[in-house]
Amino acid sequence: MRLKIKPERGLGKIEVEINEDLWKKIRDLGEKYKASEDYILRIILTGEFKTPKGDIEKLENEVKELEKKVYELEKKWAPLRYKAYGVSEDNKILAIELSGLLAENTQLKRFLRKKIKPNFELRKLIEYYIR
């Protein structure tokens, strides 16, 4: 693969031939660290490597422990999320039924020629649960 490096200012540019194995490694590094290939190449060419300040194995162990805690919390959270979804669907069904009953009540009041009082707060509440 041919790589063209253009300066921010000026007209000079450098063309370099990179073999596919090296480009694949650069692409893998980009995917692993969620960075673009351009950024990885800039780090490689300028030598802006960061050296870790602590013991790498200790840091990796801390990360593994934190991942275990996250998995434990996810195990607790998943059933709660499922139940909350069920409750919200039940609320939606009840709101639809209540809306139908209110419409039926209004029709009966009209039939009996009684005064109809719109309840805006109840309508807002029904609208909230239907969405």
Res 4: pLDDT: 73
Domain range for 104: 56-130
- Is 8 strand, coil or helix? coil
* Least confident piece of the model among 3-12, 90-99, 103-112: 3-12
Question: pLDDT band at residue 109, thresholds of 50, 70 and 90?
Answer: very high
Res 48: pLDDT: 72
Q: Check if the beta carbon of residue 2 is closer than 8 Å to that of residue 14.
A: no
User: In 3D, which of 92, 119, 116, 121 has the Cα closest to residue 106?
Assistant: 116
- Whether 7 and 33 map to the same domain: the answer is yes
Distance CA(56)–CA(63), nearest Å, equals: 10
pTM for the full predicted model: 0.48
Query: What is the residue whose two structure tokens read 């139908």?
Result: 100
- Is 128 strand, coil or helix? helix
If you average pLDDT over every residue of the chain, what do you get? Answer: 87
Total residues found in the chain within this entry: 131
> How many domains in the chain?
2
- Whether 24 and 87 map to the same domain: the answer is no
Average pLDDT for 26-50:
82
pLDDT at 128 exceeding the cut of 80: yes
Displacement of CA 102 from its chain's centroid (Å)? 39
Q: What is the enclosing helix (H) or strand (E) of 3?
A: strand 2-5
Res 106: pLDDT: 92
Distance CA(67)–CA(71), nearest Å, equals: 6
- Residue ranges of alpha helices (H) inside the chain are 20-33, 37-46, 56-111, 120-130
- Whether 41 and 20 map to the same domain: the answer is yes
State the CB neighbour count (10 A cutoff) for residue 49: 7
Res 56: pLDDT: 81
Res 53: pLDDT: 73
- Whether 19 and 69 map to the same domain: the answer is no
Average pLDDT for 12-25:
82
Distance CA(73)–CA(76), nearest Å, equals: 5
- Whether 36 and 61 map to the same domain: the answer is no
